[in-house]
């Protein structure tokens, strides 16, 4: 095959750049000039150089560290994603440096700058808000980047996300079949793709099950616990309170459970609470909490696989994983 | 005062080394020779150089990143420590790169190598087991290091730990006052300082409350959930089963709660479970779970404060924070 015997040294000589520059361009490091990138890219095309066959030599210039920026390290969903990602990365001889954006754009940007400065070989990140200058700079730097959990409009980056629709559809079907017609919803921030997608899925599912959308049953939180407490208090204080509450992530569900107990309401008999994310703790509640599950382990592993394929010069397709409803309500056991 | 006007340039000139070498030695970076370290140290002494006054110039050679290696990122105690540490570090203009040892010495060692290679300005770590060659190399590198949560015998490193004794003493006092005389214990690994200290505290507390130590009521886990399930199953299968179980961390307590429910036992009426670590989830169980609390936020903040003082050339004292028993059992409410 063409290009079999071509080495990175040939590419560097043909492009008229140093071996180090050629290596940096090919491994996607930020410290390269537009001119060097153009010359190396042209040399690769003209010589038929195939970087995959050269992985071993390229690796010499790598730090073998990747950056993983999660939204909230105290959210068990992201802890599970981080653990799975780190194990997948170690299997490929990469160490994962974890950063916590804490659901905050400025903190995300600090981590992006640090990852660039530390010359990690690539970054997996759950982007905050609607993007930022640092996020643009990261992507323009040619550092390999993969989005996880969330996407940002206008950024053409491979991503691993889940499709919230099937899980929310099943949850609404199950709740309405059990006689619930007043279903409260604690939505995530609408500046975040998962917040918008889950909100839309909820709004779309109701009419299919014969329920009109009632804006007084919809509240908005920030994916962190205290906002779930406040949102549930608001829902439960209404004269015609909901008989079931669906929360768009597990921390807001935890807040809703606290607010429910504070009002002396019992899960199962007085009210149902359905959480997003199947984290261990919710299965151990008594009674256990029904959840819309996404496979955090698969999300983490898949994000690292995508990133490593970008590092190897490939252009992987984005991946969308499914969600399912896990019904733990006592009524189904009778 | 002596040394007021002495600059790092004077130190470099006096030591006969470059400014960069002097700076690296003074900021504790690993890439320095023994000879350079000796010459710079001697120059510092002879000139009366005071690094604290020079923090601004030293900073130019820093990465402004610190490494934080936790034992288990999926353990909410460490997630809380990491979050508090990261906020404290950001307040001092440092970004925290988080690593997860996953309760595993080899994985710890990979992170240590990465932190050294990435030239972080210092490392906070919860050491695994009884130490390792990489841990020795880290400390010999003169990289500023602080231990958190755990210590390792033979390593003279400033640390932030908690004293388990008062919390365990209060827990045993409360349980015996409520009539419990068969108290099961799920111990942590005895190769880890916290595992040993909590075990010793439990064994010492029993006789003070009129209870003989019964080895059949003591089991050992690895601080992760599945070991808690197995240990509790063993305790609950005994003909004369304990009426209360104390677990040496929150994940083993979670496993014990699962095993308890599997046997159809109800918390509060049939058996008490007391967990180590006051994490949010345990307060939201119904009934809520009593805990031996350590202040994870204070642990994280304090570790970063100690590390930054080491970075500034100081020699801080180790800090031991208290533990307290939080009794959430229903009996206290009657």
Examine the domain organization and report whether A97 and A237 are in the same domain. Answer: no
Please, which pLDDT band fits residue B37 given cuts at 50, 70 and 90? confident
Q: What is the pLDDT of residue B11?
A: 85
Are both A196 and A329 inside the same structural domain? yes
State the CATH number of the domain containing residue B34: 1.10.260.40
Indicate the average pLDDT of chain B: 89
Instruction: Report the chain A residue with the minimal C-alpha distance to residue B226.
Output: A280
Please indicate if any CB of chain A lies within 8 Å of the CB of B74: yes
**Omega before A175 within 30 of 0, i.e. cis:** no
A276 inside domain = yes
Supply the pLDDT for residue A61.
66
Same domain assignment for residues B189 and B288: yes
The answer to whether B134 contacts chain A (CB < 8 Å) is: no
Same domain, B169 and B291: yes
- Predicted pLDDT at A331: 57
Residue in the block written with tokens 């509790």: B232
Residue A160 has pLDDT above 70, yes or no: yes
A118 in contact with B at a CB cutoff of 8 Å? yes
- Does residue B44 contact residue B1 with C-beta atoms inside 8 Å? no
Q: What is the residue range of A39's domain?
A: 8-59
pLDDT at A92: 94
Residue B183 CA to residue B241 CA, distance in Å, equals 9
Is A31 in the same domain as A70? no
pLDDT of the residue at B5: 65
Percent of chain A with pLDDT over 70: 92
Contacting B residues, span 137-196, partner chain A, CB-CB under 8 Å:
none
For residues B291 and B301, state if they share a domain. no
User: DSSP alpha helices (H): ranges in chain B?
Assistant: 8-15, 19-26, 34-47, 55-58, 76-91, 105-117, 133-140, 164-177, 193-208, 225-237, 250-262, 280-283, 296-311
- Closest-CA distance of chain A to residue B281, Å: 7
Q: Which residues in chain B are contacts of A63 at CB distance < 8 A? A: 117-118
Q: Residue A55's pLDDT band (boundaries 50, 70, 90)?
A: very low
A174/A147 same-domain check: no
In angstroms, the first-to-last Cα distance of chain B is 66
Closest-CA distance, A53 to chain B, in angstroms, reads: 26
Tens digit of pLDDT for each residue in A100-155?
999 999 999 999 999 998 889 999 999 998 889 999 999 988 899 999 999 999 99
Does residue B13 or residue A286 have the better pLDDT? Answer: B13
Q: How far is A29 from chain B (nearest CA, A)?
A: 15
Same domain assignment for residues B206 and B258: yes
Predicted confidence band of residue B60 (pLDDT cuts 50, 70, 90): very low
Residue A205 domain flag = yes
Assign A181 a pLDDT band (cuts: 50, 70, 90): very high
Determine whether the interchain pair B74/A96 forms a contact, defined as Cβ–Cβ distance below 8 Å: no
Query: In the prediction, which pLDDT does A192 show?
Result: 93
Q: What is the pLDDT of residues B145-192, one digit of tens each?
A: 999 999 999 999 999 999 999 999 999 999 999 999 999 999 999 999
- Is residue A1 included in any domain, yes or no? no
Structure-token pair, residue A52? 């995959």
| Number of structural domains chain A divides into | 3
Q: Are A292 and A77 a contacting pair, CB within 8 Å?
A: no
pLDDT, mean of residues A63-81:
95
Give percent above pLDDT 70 in chain B: 92
Per-residue pLDDT tens for B299-313?
Answer: 999 999 999 999 999
Residues A14 and A78 in one domain: no
Q: What is the pLDDT of residue A22?
A: 81
């Amino acid at each position: 095959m063409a290009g079999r015997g071509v080495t990175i040294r040939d590419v560097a000589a043909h492009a008229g750049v140093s071996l180090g520059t050629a290596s940096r361009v090919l491994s996607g490091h930020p410290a390269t000039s537009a001119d060097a990138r153009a010359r190396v890219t042209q040399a690769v095309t003209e010589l038929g150089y195939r970087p995959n066959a050269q992985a071993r030599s390229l690796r010499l210039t790598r730090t073998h560290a990747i950056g993983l920026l999660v939204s909230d390290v105290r959210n068990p969903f992201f802890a599970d994603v981080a653990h799975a990602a780190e194990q997948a990365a170690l299997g490929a001889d990469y160490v994962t440096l974890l950063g916590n954006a804490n659901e905050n754009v400025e903190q995300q940007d600090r981590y992006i700058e640090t990852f660039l400065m530390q010359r990690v070989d690539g970054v997996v990140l759950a982007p905050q808000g609607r993007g930022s200058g640092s996020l643009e700079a990261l992507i323009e730097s040619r550092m390999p980047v993969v989005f996880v959990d969330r996407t940002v409009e206008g950024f053409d980056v491979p991503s691993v996300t889940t499709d919230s629709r099937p899980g929310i559809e099943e949850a609404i079907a199950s709740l309405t079949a059990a006689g619930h017609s007043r279903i409260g919803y604690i939505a995530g921030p609408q500046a975040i793709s998962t917040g918008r997608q889950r909100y839309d899925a909820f709004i779309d599912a109701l009419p299919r099950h014969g329920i009109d959308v009632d804006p007084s049953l919809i509240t908005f939180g920030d994916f962190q616990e205290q906002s779930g407490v406040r949102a549930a208090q608001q829902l439960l204080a209404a004269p015609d309170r909901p008989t079931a509450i669906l929360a768009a992530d597990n921390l807001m569900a935890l807040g809703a459970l606290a607010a429910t107990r504070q009002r002396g309401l019992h899960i199962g008999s007085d009210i149902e609470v359905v959480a997003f994310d199947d984290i261990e703790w919710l299965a151990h509640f008594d009674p256990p909490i029904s959840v819309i599950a996404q496979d955090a382990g698969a999300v983490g592993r898949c994000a690292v696989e995508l990133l490593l394929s970008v590092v190897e010069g490939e252009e992987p397709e984005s991946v969308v994983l499914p969600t399912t409803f896990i019904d733990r309500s006592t009524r189904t056991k009778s």
